[in-house]
A and B are shown apart, each in its own frame.
Chain A
């Protein structure tokens, strides 16, 4: 198993050498890489948890380029893996083309909606989770300026930024939110050097809390935040431990739960749109021993109040997807 895993990792989609494993699930990681301390790592953790609890095995592949998406999905489907789980919105286009060709295979796509009878689309309410960390950021800032650093400039990341900005301004309308994106190509997910420079630029503009929604680029953001003595906020996985005392919190996206659920249900899983939000623990700020000294009881209370208000419909967090615009901040 381990050997096979390593083998698959190293050689991308080209080597599924060890025979057909009937109805084992398969997992496709996106370009950020399996151990990005973020989104993909979270899906890996979910799969590992499933493997540990059930003793099952699963196949996996780490995409190295956009061109491999089609090939990877098709290969797993041909080999009889079921369900086939893929993390990342970029898989939506190839999946739309491929899924109808394999009506007996169940597909799961995370972060995008593909409306086909054999596809489950898992969407996270990133805007709501970001709203909650926005509240914490607004209560932690001393300078009344907070920053947001996105990875690649795409609607998904704007959705993070928009919810965050609304959380900040709802808490204190006098706080200014600065937003930057790392770039407009996939390199933007793996450019910690630029992440650092953006952080320094935001600090220069007065920011003392910076929220990074930028994949591995965020590693550079959190590093610089720690070096400069300001707060960083992590994303996707719990990144609090990276710089204890400096990472204020992390907006966790429970991709692991989505992967775990899909693998547990197995072939023929319930398809359609699944939304993971605040109510079903899909998104949440991370509280643990690394940031317990940073989070005041007032912050806890404010977050709890906001969770209740969102659930009750009293607070509507603006969703960038609905109108491709954001009232709280100008990108």
Chain B
């Protein structure tokens, strides 16, 4: 494997990790507050559709992004109403959100554009532009004879949409918010022992709602990234189980922000390896079938959870609607 291939795999890892990381942090906020959120997939899907549809209709990717956030937050509100306000089962309302998003996106898209699940292809100025730093090469054939520094500069640092660095910066921001602010302390406490938080005179319901809404915003951005940054249209079920992968990453990361970053980068890296099976096979000298690479993220999750990272303990109050004692 040459250096160019390695750089391209890492470049691809970054792109593939970004939606996972956004969804994983969304899940982190809501699960740290004690609300299980398996509706990440549905929220992302809703965000992806609305971003593509609105960006197409208005010609502005930023209005698309804003609309995607609104749509995803709306899904969060449904989840919150069912599972916080009316104390329903959090898993069931999460599943309901996934179903709702899968059906609704296709239905509305078909009514608007008459292309079934798809939205029309976006023109270049209605997509997130890639940020090309000065001196960076953009086309892969040009890169073949470039020196290593230029490669790293052109593909790893340059050539991404603004959402990629944004998602990466969210990790320290989330860490700071969770571990260095009063809000973060309360949020972590409410996922472990809501009664104690309540006794201290802080509203459990309000904290959980805020966490869920933050999650909605992040999922909306993740969805917009899929349909308007790395693709140019919405396609039905285009999230392709990334919301569930993000959940696996969250468990893997033991519900901690920095761990979430490493877990998502690892998953992204494994997905990227899958696209370069030939180079990897040449490197290790064995022709492994592509199915092996396909299964690798999941196998690794099981192996690492079983043997290496130790016990992954969920927030104690997760899954339980909070009922005030009288």
Question: What residues of chain A have their CB less than 8 Å away from a CB belonging to chain B?
Answer: 9-10, 33-37, 41, 143, 153, 178, 180-181, 183-184, 187, 190-194, 196-198, 200-201, 203-205, 216, 219-220, 223, 228-229, 242
Contacts and interface: CB of A to CB of B under 8 A. Distances in A.
B270 to A, nearest CB: 12
Q: Determine the main DSSP class of B at the interface with A.
A: helix
Interface string B127-142: 0000000000001110
Interface string B254-290: 0000000000000000011001111100000000001
Interface string B25-49: 0000000000000000000000000
B107 A10 contact: yes
A203 B107 CA distance: 36
Given A35-B110, A180-B275, A204-B8, A216 B232 contact: no
- Among A37, A178, A193, A220, which residue has the most Cβ atoms of chain B within 10 A? A193
A34 B116 contact: yes
Interface in B34-79: none
A36 B116 contact: yes
Q: Which 4 A-B pairs have the closest CB atoms?
A: A35-B116, A201-B275, A191-B240, A190-B237
- Among A200, A201, A228, which residue has the most Cβ atoms of chain B within 10 A? A201
Given A190-B238, A197-B272, A223-B233, 20 more contacts: A35-B110, A37-B115, A153-B290, A184-B294, A187-B240, A191-B240, A194-B275, A196-B230, A196-B231, A197-B12, A197-B15, A198-B275, A200-B8, A200-B12, A203-B140, A205-B279, A219-B233, A223-B121, A223-B231, A228-B139
Contacts of A205: 278-279
A216 B235 contact: yes
B169 to A, nearest CB: 22
Contact of B236 (A153, A180, A190, A193): A190
Interface of B: 4-5, 8, 12, 15-16, 19, 103, 106-107, 110, 115-118, 121, 139-141, 226, 230-233, 235-238, 240-241, 271-272, 275-279, 290-291, 294
A222 to B, nearest CB: 10
A200 B5 CA distance: 11
Contacts of A9: 110
Contacts of B141: 143, 203
Nearest to A41: B116
A193 B16 contact: yes
Given A35-B115, A201-B275, A229 B237 contact: no
Q: Determine the main DSSP class of A at the interface with B.
A: helix
A187 B237 contact: yes
Contacts of B240: 187, 190-191, 193-194
Contacts of A192: 231, 233, 235, 238
8 contacts: A184-B290, A190-B238, A192-B233, A192-B235, A198-B275, A201-B12, A204-B8, A228-B139
A189 to B, nearest CB: 9
A33 B236 CA distance: 8
A224 to B, nearest CB: 9
B175 to A, nearest CB: 28
A203 B5 CA distance: 11
Contacts of A153: 290-291
Contact of B117 (A10, A33, A187, A198): A33
B277 A180 contact: yes
Nearest to B103: A10
Contacts of A36: 116
A191 B16 contact: no
Nearest to A217: B235
- Among B115, B139, B241, B276, which residue has the most Cβ atoms of chain A within 10 A? B276
